[in-house]
A and B are shown apart, each in its own frame.
Chain A
Amino acid sequence: MIKDIEPTRQLAPLPHGRGWGWVFLCLLIFNLASCDTFNCLLDTKVVCQYGFYSEGSSISVSDTLTVTALGIDSVLVNRQVNKSSVTLPVSYYGDVDSLEFKIKGPDGEARDTVYMVKRNIGHIEDVSCPAHMWHTITQVYSTHHLIDSVYINNADINYDTQENLQIYFRTAEE
Chain B
Amino acid sequence: MAALLCWCSGAVAQDTLSVEVSGDSITVTLPKKERKPREQRLLQGVAVGADLVGWVMKAAGADWAMLEVLARVNLKDKYFPILELGLGEADHSGNDQDYQYNVRAPYFRVGMDYNINKKHNGNRMFFGLRYGFSFFNYDLTSPTPLTDLVWKESRPFDYESLHGAAHWGEVVFGLEMRLWKMIRLGWDARIKFRFTQKTDEVGPPWLIPGYGKNDTSGWGGTFKVLVEL
Interfacial residues, chain A to chain B (CB-CB below 8 A): 17, 20-21, 24-25, 27-28, 31-32, 36, 69, 71-72, 74, 76, 89, 91-94, 121-131, 133-134
Contact = CB atoms under 8 A, between A and B. Distances in A.
A92 B62 contact: no
Nearest to A92: B148
A128 B57 CA distance: 22
Interface in B35-92: 53, 57, 62, 92
Contacts of A74: 150-151
A128 B151 contact: no
Nearest to A133: B146
Contacts of A76: 150
Contact of B95 (A20, A93, A128): A128
Interface string B152-167: 1101010100000000
A131 B221 contact: no
Interface of B: 53, 57, 62, 92-96, 98-101, 123, 140, 142, 146, 148, 150-153, 155, 157, 159, 175, 177, 187, 189, 201-204, 206, 213, 219-221, 223
B150 A69 contact: yes
A91 B148 contact: yes
Contacts of B159: 122
Nearest to B212: A31
B62 A32 contact: yes
Contacts of B155: 92-93
A127 B223 CA distance: 29
B223 A125 contact: no
A92 B100 CA distance: 20
A17 B157 contact: no
Contacts of B223: 25, 28
Contacts of A36: 95, 213
Nearest to A23: B189
B99 A21 contact: no
A126 B153 contact: no
Nearest to B187: A24
B53 to A, nearest CB: 7
A113 to B, nearest CB: 16
Contact of B94 (A21, A24, A93, A129): A129
B223 to A, nearest CB: 7
A92 B146 contact: yes
Contacts of A130: 98
Given A17-B177, A129-B94, A91 B150 contact: yes
B123 A126 contact: no
A133 B155 CA distance: 11
A134 B189 CA distance: 40
A129 B146 CA distance: 13
Contacts of B219: 31
Given A20-B175, A72-B151, A92-B148, A123 B101 contact: no
A71 B204 CA distance: 35
A122 B151 contact: no
11 contacts: A32-B57, A91-B151, A92-B151, A122-B140, A125-B204, A127-B99, A128-B94, A128-B99, A130-B98, A131-B146, A134-B201
B46 to A, nearest CB: 25
